[in-house]
Structure 1
Amino acid sequence: MRTLPPMSTLRAFEATARTGSITRAAEELCRTHGAVSRQLRLLQEHAGTTLFEKDGTGVRLNERGQGMYDVVRAVFDQLEQSYSRLQDQARGPSLHVACSATFAMRWLVPNMVDFYRLRPDIRIRLSMTSAREMRTEGADVVIAWDLSAYPEPDRQRALHLAPVAFGPVCAPSYAASVRSGVRIAHDFTSSAWDQWEALSGKRIAPARELTFPHTHLCIEAALGGVGVALIEQRLIRRELEDGQLIAPYGFARFSNGLMAVPAARELPKDAKVFVGWLRDKLAEYEPGM
């Protein structure tokens, strides 16, 4: 027989510890403030020790409570992931696709309606991630252009989807400052500028460099006139057409292009359909030079 407190007390504890507020925990759990307080009191009586202390108008974990929360949070996370997978299995075939947040927001999600018209029976589970997602979260396919940080077996399985073309872009008002102004770089693809300079034969020597962890932040910085950013052409097609961004040196095609990295050498049937659709859809807009 397991010696565990009632599940309702653990739910109240986890929500209160995570939000730092009994009131917010009550709202999240659709309970009253008094009901959550009673659950916390019951848990502490069951454990024989206090787990919280007052913190202004809220509460915070004491040392024993923090140790308990570390365990409960990990267990709840595992339960949530397992239950989500169970629901996915019950609903039928699905495909877990991982890609960068910017590619998802600016290209994949806006085009998904076309895929669902073609195959309404295949559900796409989408996550924003990198190579680690495939190993730790079970992604079926990872979409990326820079595979330098991927293990060799992953790179060998990679399937070419489409060419990519990168170019320095900035707001029209910033054009005169491009050569010696602020260069905007991505934290995790820092070699992109070096690749562009080698391919284009041009060089931008910035007075300083700013880095951001996501491409969409680099794009927003360029739109705001902060500096010049190196961006893949498809991701800013609308801004280029509208004249919000200009590409004073044009675009250079990178060697590998956009790739699909499957989790296994043999692609599942649904993944083959999705990869084929990606190739066809990406080919509708061929990046220029």
Structure 2
Amino acid sequence: MGRVLPLLALRAFAETGRHASIKRAAEAMGVTSGAVSQQVRLLEERLGVSLFSRTRYGVELTEAGAKAHPTILSAFDQLEKGLEALEASNATASVTVCTVPSFAASWLVPRLGRFTSRHPDIEVRVEASATLTDLRRERVDVSIRHGLGDYPGLETIHLMAPELIPVASPTLLTDGPAIRTPADCLSYPLLQDSARADWRLWLKALGTEDDPRIERGPSFDDDFLLVRAAVAGQGIALVRDIYAREEIADGRLAVALDRPWPSEFAYYVVTLPAAIERPAIAHFVAWLIEEAQAPQLPAASA
């Protein structure tokens, strides 16, 4: 008891062991790689043992380091949780959620009024970004990710699996040739996703042979932009159904062919394992699941 602990050196040891990289440990601590190396070296000199050995891929814990690392890492994680609890005790209940712009604009934001009406004491902050959020380093409580659901070390809850549907301006479809089969869509300009993959996958899944016309048309890196281009009559867009419901309902878009195709990708609610224990986050996640299971409700109502 009463020992003066070299906390900075111990933190450098914990983060370097966590990431198996001095560079990534430095990024996590907000310091230089040289500073991390110096602190680890000072700790090794103080203890008289070697804590890491270098490999071609980075660093790895020695036998002595591996014995101590789990306990020290857990201690710093507990300190961080304690600090978060202290901050939360004197702060307005809040939830920061991050997702891609298209999902935020077309699905999440129009529905937030219902959550605010139910929980007026919880402040929701929405961050729309195409960049993958690191929940361990950034001040984000909930991330809504589109993928296969493989997020190691995080709490992952399946939210929804939208279907791809071909949509276009009603005027474009009325003035153009009839669409009776998936291949008939190739008679129109195709509005492409950024990878130019969705049209090829959809047509192949529905039995259409490879065709050079599949590659035609401008590409967009966001479903929201695809929908806007389709509304403007620039061609047929293959989009996730949740992004075009409002436009279809008010007549700005029409389904070109009723052949929806389920992709393997889905939307997942992702949090840190302990985050869901916070009442504000638990309420928000429960509301997200409720909304996803009731798509027939008008998005803008409160």
Q: Aligned partner of 1:192: which letter?
A: D
- Aligned pair 1:210/2:218, yes or no? yes
Q: Which one-letter code corresponds to 1:257 in the other structure?
A: A
Residue 161 of structure 2: aligned partner: 163
> Would you say the 8 A contact 1:134–1:141 is kept in 2?
no
Match of 2:79 in 1: none
Encode CA deviations 1:134-167: one digit per residue, 9 max, x unaligned. Answer: 355332221133358xx7416x742111231111
Deviation, structure 1 residue 190: 4.8
Alignment length, in residue pairs? 198
* Equivalent residues of 1:166, 1:231 under 8 A apart: yes
Structure 1, unaligned runs of 5 or more: 1-86
Contact 1:181 1:206 in 2 (8 A): no
Hey, what's the Cα distance between the residues in 2 that align with 1:219 and 1:190?
16
Q: Which residue of 1 aligns with 2:191?
A: 184
Q: Distance in 2 between matches of 1:163 and 1:170?
A: 22
Q: Which deviates more from structure 2 when the two are superposed, residues 231-240 or residues 201-210?
A: 201-210
Once the two structures are TM-superposed, the CA of residue 126 in structure 1 deviates from its matched residue by 0.7
Determine the structure 2 residue equivalent to 1:142.
Answer: 143
Which whole-Å CA distance do the structure 2 matches of 1:231 and 1:162 have between them? 15
Gap change, CA 1:285 and 1:219, over 3 Å in 2: same
Whole-angstrom distance in 2 between the partners of 1:229 and 1:196? 12
| Alpha-carbon separation, structure 2, partners of 1:140 and 1:200 | 39
- Which 5+ residue runs of structure 2 have no aligned equivalent? 1-86, 178-184, 298-302
For 2:172, the aligned partner's letter is: Y
Partner of 2:61: none
Q: What's the TM-score once normalised by structure 2's chain length?
A: 0.56
Asked if structure 2 preserves the Cα contact closer than 8 Å seen for 1:139 and 1:263, the reply is no
Task: Quote the residue 2:132 is aligned against.
Answer: 132
Aligned residue identity for 1:279 = I
In structure 1, the partner of 2:294 is 284
Residue deviations 1:87-133 (CA, integer Å, cap 9, x gap):
99854221110112122222211211110121122211110124522
**Contact between 2:168 and 2:230, CA under 8 Å: does it hold in 1?**
yes
Cα distance in 2 between the residues matched to 1:161 and 1:182: 33
